[in-house]
Structure 1
Amino acid sequence: MKFIQKSKDFHQKYPNLLIAIFFISGFLFDVATLGQVDEFGNFLGHTIYLSLLILSYVYLEKEYKKSWLQKFSEYQRDIFHFLAGGLLSGFAIFFFKSSSLSSSGIFIVIVLLILLANESPLFQARGSLIKLTLVQFCISAYFIIYIPVLIGFIGSFIFFLTITLAAITLPILLQRLKHPATNESKIISAAMSVFLIIGYFTNILPPVPLSVKEIGVYHKIVKLENSYNLYSESSFTNFFGFSDTSFKAQPGDSVYVFARVFAPKGLSEKLYIQWEKWDKIWKISDRIPLSIQGGNTWGYRAYAYKKNYTNGFWRAKVMSSDNREIGRVDFSISSVPEKKREWTIDVKD
């Protein structure tokens, strides 16, 4: 009993500190345990959480006559934000894994700000409209992440199908229940759709469920039966696992880019390695197609190489079929005289 009383006293004295502790602990727990986007446990858990979140919102302002339900209603707001926080932290991790921060950083920041705001007592005290927006965002993120996993394809058609389903789900449900926020839901879902479509065409929306787990630049790649040998010049940076991002090109050298791309089970997709060179602006030099098949937990291995290049700053971007960036590596190329070199060989199984 003393422990319970001390806990209550601590909660009353430091409410914001406890919120921060639980938020950070929960987020770190998700980072450690969430796994891949195509794991059934994640899909089931997020489906249950989303269903309960919608249910919680629908009955958020309901007045109960029975005493035990009245007691429950005191915690309804906390339950709502707990469910929203659980969804947002998982979605934030999936978006982060699929993002190239240089292109999708803005969207990741927005998701994290929503996640942080959800934990704020000031935000939680806001009215129904804020909560409705939160529910709509969670529904949209859920469909964006899981519909490609279930269908096995990504692309513009799948994206617009996803946005359409996400936009009509909540308004139809609220209308059938004759909920007073039905009209507001239609406006918010339309605004959310516009926001996500803008994010899609400006490439700030990460290409979930794809993600680049590894990418690097090398002097040579040898494909063996079950592995790849990646050759880079021995240097101080190689000791720390970096590739040839300062590429010293001797006569006859080709520039190789190796990437390990995760795709969910059953998803087939054509990707591209896009070579770009800086010449006052980034100019596309080559675009090499790669066909991948999902299902490998460690990621599908692929590489491309380039024989014709000039000195300067380069980058190689892994692009989805709908032209969204999944990952990139930046590097420089400089010509050097021919001389003997020592190689560091990185074996990728």
Structure 2
Amino acid sequence: MRRRSSNIVAFSCMFFILALQAILPISSASLQFGFYDYNYKCKRTNVELLVRGVVAKAIRKDPGVGAGLIRMYFHDCFVRGCDASVLLDPTTANPTPEKTSVANFPSLRGFEVIDQAKAKLERRCPGVVSCADIVAFAARDAAFFLGRISYPIPSGRLDGRISLQSEVLQNLPAPSFSLSQNEAFFANKGMSPEEMVTLSGAHSIGRSHCSSFTDRLYPTEDPTIDRSFAGILKGMCPQNAAVDGVVPQDIVTPNRLSNQYYKNVKAHKVLFTTDQNLMSSSDTAAMVKENARNQTAWKAKFAAAMVKMGNLVELTGPPGEIRKNCRVVN
């Protein structure tokens, strides 16, 4: 048993290394692994370990926060590149930043975790670590604590000064998208259909408001949804309910980042149209089946896709900055 386990780990590591090598050529030249190891102000502080400690404490208290951190990373990187623009609060000058979009409010979670990590880092090595890198580290750490998915991620991002609610829905796929629409959104960010399918596995954790999928239940039940599963959802999300309820994305393993999501897709037991539409093409359906069969390979692909998404960087120099407070520009 131990020998088999060692072989699986070795294969996973080899798969990830090959995948990482494939994406490194498109990485931003200003990002590097261990970026903060070379900063004299932080020489007594292991920046990534400090962030991991804050994330670990938060997830022990509420595993759902981990799902929120992974989603925050996606929502940040897909809009203006990974620049922490999703963290900015409303101000008199900008009353409608990204976090006020219906795609982010009130569902996006984990802001307080980023705040806690930033506050600790500002005490240890002020003005050095960007909020954008903290978001990337926190998402990586959430993937580790919820799914034992471990990977290095380069850093050196800067924080943006612009955050617009109007840009969010233009850059994030909607839960009701067709497969071709979803593929087009990912392609626009340089992501392949396989990376789209791979990252969709994050829907094995977290929660969703009923309003995001009840169009599949009412007034007519979507024929692609399992009838018994639809019955469960109707019990949790009654038609014309006064309160927009919340349900787990994966009712089987709601707090574990795993390939259970792909088994749910095959069984027609997923919430979103975009999820079920992965079975509408022979190509993506084959990817779903492979990921459902081989969790080790999926984890390696997920790690590589998360690193690649982190390379969506527009700011590694002016007008980027290192915010003192992640919620406001300097």
Bigger helix share:
2
State the TM-score, normalized to the length of structure 1. Answer: 0.25
Larger Rg: 1
Say which structure, 1 or 2, has more relative contact order (CA 8 Å, 6+ apart). 2
More strand by share: 1
